[in-house]
Amino acid sequence: MICLRRSYMLFCWLLCTMPILAQPPAATIHGTISSAGGEPLAGASIVIKGTSRGTTTGPNGSFQLMAPVNSTLVISHTGYLVKEIKIRSADNYTLTISLEENKNDLDQVIVVGYGTRRKSEVTGAIASVSEKSIQDVPSANLSQALQGQAAGIDIQKSKGNAHPGESPSILIRGTRSVKAGNSPLFVVDGIPFEGSIDDIAQDDVAAVEVLKDASSTAIYGSRGANGVILVTTKRGRDGKPRVAYSGYAGFTKSAGEYPMMNGPEYFELKKWATYIGNKGVYTGPDDPKLVNGSLIQLAPEEREGIFLGRSTDWQKLVYRTGISTDHQLSVSGGTDITQYSVGGGYYQETGVYPGQSFTRYSLRLNVDQRIGNYVKVGVSSLNTYTVTKGESIDPLPEALRASPLVLPYDSTGKLINNFLPGSANQVWNPLADFLPGATVEKRDRLGTFNSMYVEVSPIKGLKYRFNGGAELRSDIYGHFYGANTTENLGVSSTAENATTETTSYTLENMLVYDKTIAKLHKINFTALYSYQKYGSSNTTFDYTNLLSDQAQFYNPALGANFQATNSTTNNNNELLNWVLISYMARLNYTFNDKYLLTLTMRSDGSSVLAPGDKYHLFPSAAAAWNIIKEPFLQHRGAISNLRLRASYGEVGNPAITPYQTLGSLTQQTYNYGGTTTTGLYPYSAPNPNLNWEYTATANVGVDFGFWQNRLSGTLELYHSYTRDMIMPVTLPPTSGIPAQILTNIGKSENKGIEVHIAADILRARNSHAFAWSMDVNFYIDRGEITRLLPSITTTLDGKPADIANKWFVGRPIGSYYDYIRTGIWQATSQDSAAAKALGQTITGTKSVIGQARILDRNHNGVIDAGDEGIVGTPQPRWEGGTTQRFAYRNFDLTVVAAVRIGGMISSDLFGAGFTSTMQGNYNNVNVHYWTTVNPTNRWSAANSAQTNPPYHSTFGYFDGSFLKIRSMTLGYSVPGSLFRGTGFKTMRLYATAKDPFILFSPYRSTYHGVDPESAGTLNVNTPAVWSMLFGLNIGF
Amino acid sequence: MGRQFVFVMLLAMTAVTGCKKFLTEKPQQQITAGSFWKTNDDIVAGIAAMYNGVQQQCSYNYFAYGDGRTDNFWVSQYGNLAYSINGLSNATNGTDWAPIYTTIERANDLLMHVPIIAASQEGQSIGAKASNNYLAQAYGVRAFCYFTLLRIFGGAPVWRVPYDSVGQQKFIARSSAEYLMDSLVLPDLLNAANLADTTQNTVWYVNVGGIRAMLMDAYMWKHDYPDAIYWYSRLTGTNRYKLEPTATWKNLFIAPQSSAESIWSLNWDWTVNGGASISGEIGAGNTNSQWWISDVIWSYFTSAANAKDIRGPQSIDFKATNHDKVNKFYPVNLNAQGVQIYPANNQANVYFALYRLADLLLLRAEAANCTYDTATAINLLNAIHVRAGLPAYTTATLVDSTTISNALLAERQWEFFAEGKRWYDLVRNGVVSSVLDPIMLKRYPTAQTFASDPRKILWPVNANDLNANPALVQNPPY
């Protein structure tokens, strides 16, 4: 063999050198090889193409090699795409090579619940998001970074609020519960994570796996129904210490202004409103009697504004440019018996209003230590301290209502610290919120999440592992709003203090047994016993009329009217403890790597459930068939992977809060004329039947790959059935119990399709060539309620309908139920006759002409409550995301996009509140409203005689489609020659535009809304923002 | 190695033991049904909650039931016209039973738990006298609730035990008004009369006087005059009550605890419970009233002949030009222009005079008149009439029992104006249609008369109550 190879090499060498025999043949090459994230790769192989000559990298990723000119180096490493680099001259080279991760590598190991599996062995539906993808969008927290990155994971800003530190809402495979939450379970390094996802810095995360089907979530039993997100933090590897720094800084701006009227437009609206609201008094909106007379709520300052042509842009005065800063430093390394990874970070983001910011300090430590041959121990510790300022401060509602005809300053140039002229003296100067000390809101969160394990492998194949986790959090909140702020509108100053302490600890004992029998039968058995205890206590109190504003919320003794109530959650001070005890067993069986079977059973016992009914079983089964291993598919050229998977199982949603089964009394004070006594009376009745919600899911998946997996992907189909959905039942009033009773009675279903495709469209043959790869995912989820309370007798389109709660059989949860606006009643004789026939007023100031025309859906000849119907649903037709990566020479370009098509949004800007009253007393959203000269069918007329247009909410529904470019990053890897001698090994500079474009959004393009992305009603709130960031990654 | 492994396993196993205990978590911040009802303090808290229930059920409805539909008031443009035009629906304010049954639940809780606590080790110090008086109050309040129900709605479901588990039978059909009266209200009141501590006389509690007054009221409703007269004698037999003098008549409403005429009044403290809703119905400083004072009352009190009646200016604000302010329940509080200043709706304290001697005295007169004892009837009537500053009636004007009956009704209308009595007087005397129909038709020509369908004297049951309990049947014709 050796002889043969030598002679072959010699032959090659002869071939190569023959034409250029006269020249010196070789160059000495020094280099380092790292991952795209800058982590040096030890053990990577470098081979001169066409030869067996080569070397491997050392612990710090460096290598040295002699290679002939014009030869090609082939660089490979498990889990990474192979790269080729051509040697062009005989100069001594220093090469810095980064390898792209090969996401399609079937030998790649991914984390599953309580263990790891090779990708080729996975039987459930699991979406993996790599470290690189997590880094693609620089974000305040992990959930923002995950948007658009995996099929079936719907991440949206909650109520459209974009304040710094906001955590978006996450739905995995849609909404399935009406009363219980729909948020997934987070598991960090194997331990259920009870904290806020805000507390995890993007840079500390090595990988995220999303468990979607019942087979993969069944091991989380009662907490698995909404999906599970497994977060793995970075751990150390063998090798010399590796230091990495990454940081960026940049600015944030609002993504647009809410479309409000300017001065002249507002004046015009007032004229029309007054004209229409005083029927028969004026000849028209420009009647001099009207213009110079009593225009609705026109202050002298506004008349002056009209005269001067004033047009105050209140939003421009409120918004400012925010600043984002991020610094992350990590050190990792180790030997074959000890590995460590330490990281520290600082992140700060200031918002587009003064007073809003989010700051996080983080410290992470991971250590793995081998003790002897059988024992391994490790710890990991994630510590964060975050400060969120101004999370609910919002001067915008007032800024949008404020008259553009007046100034925020009085005649002496002083800021008005009071109501503004006009608008019935009801609008307070939004800029007064920003006076020093006027509004202060601060939330300090300190969290420490620690886990440790001991792993003992006494005999081959058997492993015992103990996991212990402890999580401690404190959350200290305080706010103070002065009397003359937009929060209090001159009434009195208010303040609140709240303290929450949360503890959670988890103990797990796990046995794993691996055995291969007769080379064909592989068995992997896992057994688990776990105990988790959670405790949370909260103290909240509100008070008003502070003696000194200067004390803010630091000296409650200066306040009055104390209330031990949480104004945001409306809860009394509370203490919540629960315990979950679980037993789990899982069997993985593989035959000849072709046929795979996974059986999982978990039993959960919970302190929350009533005595005698505390334990429930969660079974699941999954099978997979590696078709590619079948002889008939071997050597079939193009097809490089084909697998079929199927699973079925049932998991739970822990839906109910502690003590809910017990019944409670509540207090009420009574005064017997001088003697005040606290009375107690029954508020809710004991409810021992209350139980969890259960979701059974059937899932079929196909994994495929073509051309050595240059094109690969996954297709999933699922159908899930949720039963025992909690619904509230009102007790007969004769019971004397005021609280509703929760019963497990409803049902819902979700079905969907998820597709994920990864393609290396252009693979770089060498370091100078152009490379292009992409990830695309798209998914469809269709949910519907299938059963309501049997006592519901009302129907909609023949199916049971709970009108009060807006729950409808056959419709998705959250469907919009309202009157159906077909247009605007026009000033024509036909319309007048038609309106009159429907019992509408067509004369006087309450005339419907110019107002919403509502469909007489039930054809009973009048417009009544029976005409309400389904207007739409927030459920999109389809959603998706894509990541496009381009590389050319030292440049790389990454574009991440998220898309959501179809699905309705309900916008408060147009359909509720004070921005669209059309009354003319507040500034209004700038719509092309109906007038006698503009007979539009879209917007109602202005009318000073009504506080809101009739059927106001029908104007607030919009198509919520959008395609959002989440980030565009242009990076440049600085050639090593430029920083030789600095000690740095890699250096990359980049610029990122974050959320630069919102495309294909009718809400934005046609109606000039800011951003349609919103889980729940789109409130008028901190507007969407975009940022420009400049960053640097250094490895040394 | 093997030994170490066994050791670790043993450690692990220790964490597995004691599961049952692990899964028991007790709420510390909230009081559960299971942890309550142990001590005297718990009874005191339960009693306070029960009176709070009475207060809440009276807050709006006491006026709506007793005055809202009568000729004392007309609905203003800010109220629900249904009350004035005999057009109640199953959604009208006041039709919901929840406030009344909430109080019944609290009384039932006491009736169940007080004897158990009194018999327990911890409860021995309470003593039979105190525990009996607790029970008397619970019986008294429960009777008050059912008495209201049967008079306003006719039949209603009977709940004698607290609802303490969701598994309990909750769909109970209505029992008849007669059954409620004979099997619940009267037995409860008789029990209460036996158990009440006769030394207790604070007006804010349903003391022995309140119980005897209610017994008389209930027997009058049954037209059982001998029993009514008996309980009136038991009431006056306490030697506790006498009519408030003319000069201090107003004290009955602004300081009932200081008046010997007060039997049972409800205290109100807006700083503790918020304002009394009745203020928004007939006179608050910050909002327009939902009812106007009717012309019947206005013209009576403003006529020159009745200028001497001291009750007019102390009941009605004649300066309120839109006739919508009742000042009866507020101390005089004039501004610089001499105009009464009313408290805001959410800061109004109104002490409901549930029972006062004048009420029972006039009922006694009614009983006398119905038992052909006209001399007593006129005598008692004059006690009130004269106190009001008016000349006494003589047999010259009150010639027969009909004229006496009319004079009694009128006297009650003036004396108890806005005190929630008028409607019951009209129903008890069977004159709803004859009194109200002509007045109603004069003002609202299209209103449906009581004569056309006397069943509409009863109120409808709220739709929510019907929906929540399939065993319930609506009052026809609603």
Q: How many domains does chain B divide into?
A: 2
Q: Tell me phi and psi for residue A433, to 5 degrees.
A: -60, -30
- Same domain, yes or no: B241 and B383: yes
Whether residue B132 sits in one domain with residue B88: yes
Question: pLDDT tens digits for A675-731?
Answer: 788 888 888 888 888 899 999 999 999 999 998 888 999 999 999 999 999 998 888
Q: What percent of chain B has pLDDT over 70?
A: 95
On whether residue B162 sits in a domain, the answer given is yes
B309 to chain A, any CB pair closer than 8 A? The answer is no
* Cα separation, A436 vs A420, whole angstroms: 19
CA nearest to A37, candidates A776, A775, A988 = A988
Pairing mode, if any, of strands A338-350 and A322-334?
antiparallel
Question: Distance between CA A867 and CA A852 in Å, rounded?
Answer: 14
Cα A660 to Cα B14: distance, rounded to the nearest angstrom: 30
Compute the Cα dihedral for A825, A827, A828, A833 and give only its sign. Answer: positive
Q: Which residues in chain B touch residue A732, judged by CB atoms under 8 angstroms apart?
A: 157, 170-172, 465, 468-469, 472
Lowest mean pLDDT among A262-276, A702-716, A969-983, B195-209: A969-983
Q: Kindly list the residues from chain B whose CB atom is less than 8 angstroms away from the CB atom of residue A788.
A: none
User: Would B114 be classed as within a structural domain?
Assistant: yes
* pLDDT of A975 above 60: yes
- B173 shares a domain with B85: yes
Q: Tell me the average pLDDT across B332-350.
A: 89
Chain B residue numbers with beta carbons less than 8 Å from the beta carbon of A659 are: 25, 27, 30, 32
Q: How far apart are CA A880 and CA A897, in angstroms?
A: 8
pLDDT for residue A447 is more than 60: yes
CB contact under 8 A, B166 and A672: no
Q: Is the pLDDT of residue A7 over 60?
A: no
d(CA A830, CA A851): 15
Of B31, B101, B468, the CB nearest to A730: B468
Q: How far apart are CA B297 and CA B128, in angstroms?
A: 49
Q: Are B272 and A681 an interchain contact pair (Cβ–Cβ within 8 Å)?
A: no
| Cβ–Cβ under 8 Å, residues A698 and A737 | no
B188 lies in some domain: yes
Q: How far apart are CA A19 and CA A103, in angstroms?
A: 41
Task: Provide the pLDDT for residue A31.
Answer: 81
Pair B246, B156 in one domain: no
DSSP state of B334: B
> What integer pLDDT is reported at residue A165 of this predicted model?
83
* Beta pairing partners, A499: A476, A539
Cβ–Cβ of A606/B2 closer than 8 Å? no
Which of B8, B22, B30 to mutate to probe the A interface, most A CBs <10 Å? B30
Best of A734, A737, A740, A789 to substitute, by most chain B Cβ atoms within 10 angstroms, is A734
Spatial separation of the C-alpha atoms in residues B352 and A386, rounded to whole Å: 55
pLDDT confidence tier of residue B412, bands split at 50, 70 and 90: very high
- B 163-192 → A contacts, CB under 8 A: 163-168, 170-172
Peptide bond before A732: cis, by omega within 30 degrees of 0?
no
Same domain, B188 and B244: no
Question: Does the CB of B156 have a partner CB in chain A at under 8 Å?
Answer: yes
Q: How confident is the prediction for chain A on average, in pLDDT? A: 88
Give me the CATH number covering residue B146. 1.25.40.390
Q: Across residues B344-359, what is the average pLDDT?
A: 92
pLDDT, average across residues A587-592: 93
Query: Do residue B386 and residue B423 come from a single domain?
Result: yes
Identify whether residues B260 and B380 lie together within a single domain: yes
Query: Of how many residues is chain A composed?
Result: 1036
Q: How confident is the model at residue B29 (pLDDT cuts 50, 70, 90)?
A: low
Q: Which of B391, B412, B429 is the last residue of a domain?
A: B429
Q: How far apart are CA B160 and CA A860, in angstroms?
A: 46
Mean per-residue pLDDT for A530-559?
Answer: 88
Q: Smallest CA–CA separation between B330 and chain A, in Å?
A: 16
Size of interface A-B (CB pairs under 8 A): 225
Range of the domain at B165: 37-197+456-478
Predicted confidence band of residue B227 (pLDDT cuts 50, 70, 90): very high
Pairing of strands A93-99, A26-35: parallel
Contact A682 B105 (CB under 8 A): yes
For A105-147, how does the pLDDT look when each residue is reduced to its tens digit (9 = 90+)? 666 788 888 888 888 888 999 999 988 889 888 888 888 889 8
Rounded distance, CA A817 to CA A824, Å? 20
- pLDDT surpasses 60 at B16: no
Assess contact for A582 and A221: CB atoms under 8 A. yes
Q: Same domain for B56 and B163?
A: yes
The reported pLDDT for the residue numbered B414 is: 96
Which tens digits make up the pLDDT trace of A545-587? Answer: 888 888 889 888 888 888 776 444 445 567 888 999 999 999 9
Read off the pLDDT of residues A803-814 as tens digits, 9 standing for 90 and up.
888 999 999 999
CA distance A102 to A81: 5
The mean pLDDT value for B292-319 works out to: 93
Query: Across residues B372-389, what is the average pLDDT?
Result: 95
**Per-residue pLDDT, A22:** 45
Instruction: For residue A298, give Cα distances in angstroms to A423, A944, A982, A993.
Output: 7, 12, 69, 44
Best of B1, B6, B23, B105 to disrupt the A interface (most A CBs within 10 Å) is B23
| Assigned domain for B145 exists | yes
Residue B4 pLDDT more than 60?
Answer: no
Structural domains of chain A, ranges and CATH numbers in brackets: 26-99 (2.60.40.10), 337-770+778-783 (2.40.170.20), 821-867 (no CATH)
B68 and B211 both lie in a single domain: no
Q: What is the pLDDT of residue B8?
A: 53
In the stretch 255-294 of chain B, residues with CB closer than 8 A to chain A read 257, 267-269, 272-273
Stretch B57-71: mean pLDDT, rounded?
94
- pLDDT of B132 > 70? The answer is yes
The answer to whether residue B24 sits within a structural domain is: no
Examine residue B437 and state whether it is found in any structural domain, yes or no: no
User: Which chain B residues are closer than 8 Å to A458 by Cβ?
Assistant: 1-2, 5
Instruction: Name the residue of chain A whose CA is nearest to B30's CA.
Output: A664
**3-state SS assignment for residue B114:** helix
What is the mean pLDDT of the segment spanning A478-484?
92
Q: Do B152 and B60 reside in the same domain of the chain?
A: yes
pLDDT, position B5: 54
Looking at the structure, do residues B209 and B176 belong to the same domain, yes or no? no
> What is chain B's mean pLDDT, rounded?
90
Whether B349 and chain A come into contact, CB under 8 Å, resolves to: no
Considering the domain architecture, whether residues B363 and B215 belong to the same structural domain is answered as yes
Looking at the complex, report in whole angstroms how far the Cα of residue A452 sits from the nearest Cα belonging to chain B.
14
Residue B134 falls inside a structural domain: yes
Which tokens in the block code for residue A656?
């109910």
**A70-74, A106-110, A207-211, A330-334 — which is least confidently predicted?**
A106-110
CA separation for the pair A693, A688 (Å, rounded): 15
Determine the length of chain B: 478
Question: Structure tokens of A437?
Answer: 């000390």
In a domain, B21, yes or no: no
